[in-house]
């Protein structure tokens, strides 16, 4: 590992864009392409939004975001909450699955993360919380001459 950042934020909806910006600023030191950085920002947004709107539906709780950068140009982002948890993770990860009663959500958050990152792992315990881990390996830097 070459660098690590840990952020703890309350689940205010304003912290969705803040967390995206902070993770992006930190990841920028690996010199990702514009597209790679966009992918990471989108994936982080989806996971943090889930903690805000689902995990802490009727309350404010803490969201812990850990970002690790590795020598092989891979980046690992962990987003953890102590919210309501997910009873059936496999079902929740299916495209279009949502428990949003108001129909404002698309049920595509996990699908977006899976498509934009190389891997996604979701661990959750109902009543205890959820941990989402995503990895992405960046393309090699262009050789300077
Ligand atoms: N951190 C979380 N805590 C509790 N439930 C979650 C969390 N993340 C996701 N979920 C559950 O998984 C479902 C699917 O998530 P997602 O694919 O992002 O779709 P959406 O957010 O549009 O509903 C959510 O509707 C919710 O039931
Ligand atoms: Mg979502």
Return the residue whose CA atom lies nearest to atom 12 of ligand 1: 92
pLDDT at 11: 98
42 located within any domain: yes
pLDDT tens string 52-67: 999 999 999 999 999 9
Q: Would you say residue 141 has pLDDT above 80?
A: yes
- Joined tokens for residue 104: 């404002």
Task: Supply the pLDDT for residue 139.
Answer: 96
Q: What is the CATH number of the domain that holds 69?
A: 3.30.565.10
Sequence-distant contacts of 15-18: CB under 8 A, at least 24 apart: 15/48, 15/52, 15/63, 16/45, 16/48, 16/49, 16/52, 17/45
The reply to whether 67 falls in a domain is: yes
**From the CA of 92, how far away is ligand 1's center (Å)?**
6
Instruction: Compute, in degrees rounded to 10, the torsion defined by CA atoms 112, 128, 88, 86.
Output: -40
Question: In the beta sheet, which residues pair with residue 66?
Answer: 6, 78
Residue 101, pLDDT > 90, answer: no
Would you say 131 and 82 are in contact if contact means Cβ atoms under 8 Å apart? Answer: no
Q: Once rounded to an integer, what is the mean pLDDT over residues 94-118?
A: 93
Task: For residue 83, count CB atoms less than 10 angstroms from its CB and return exposed for 0-12, middle for 13-18, buried for 19 or more.
Answer: buried
Q: Which atom belonging to ligand 1 lies closest to the Cα atom of 109?
A: 18
Range of the domain at 58: 3-137
Our count of domains for the chain comes to: 1
Is there a domain that residue 144 lies in? no
Report pLDDT for 1: 87
Which atom of ligand 1 lies nearest, measured to the CA of 83? 3
Q: Residue 143 — pLDDT band, cuts 50, 70, 90?
A: confident
- Is residue 39 a contact partner of residue 117, using CB atoms and an 8 Å limit? yes
pLDDT of residue 102: 80
Cα angle for residues 24, 72, 40 (degrees, 5° grid): 25
Give the residue numbers marked as catalytic.
46, 50, 105
Closest Cα to atom 24 of ligand 1: 98
Q: Where does ligand 1 bind, in terms of residues with CB under 6 Å?
A: 46, 50-51, 54-55, 81, 83-86, 92, 97-100, 105-110, 130
**In the predicted model, is pLDDT for residue 127 greater than 80?**
yes
b/e code 36-55 from CB counts within 10 Å (16+ = b): bbebbbbbbbbbbbbbbbbb
């Amino acid at each position: 590992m070459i660098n690590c950042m840990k952020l703890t934020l309350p689940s205010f909806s304003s912290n969705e864009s803040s967390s995206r910006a902070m993770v992006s600023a930190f990841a920028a030191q690996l010199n990702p392409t514009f597209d790679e950085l966009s992918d990471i920002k989108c994936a982080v947004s989806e996971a943090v939004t889930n903690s805000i709107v689902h995990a802490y539906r009727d309350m404010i709780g803490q969201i812990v975001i850990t970002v690790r950068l590795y020598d092989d140009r891979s980046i690992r982002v962990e987003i953890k909450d102590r919210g309501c948890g997910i009873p059936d993770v496999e079902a929740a990860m299916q495209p279009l699955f949502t428990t949003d009663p108001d129909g404002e959500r698309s049920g595509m958050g996990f699908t977006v993360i899976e498509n934009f990152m190389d891997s996604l792992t979701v661990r959750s315990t109902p009543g205890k919380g959820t941990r989402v881990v995503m990895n992405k390996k960046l393309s090699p830097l262009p050789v300077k001459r």
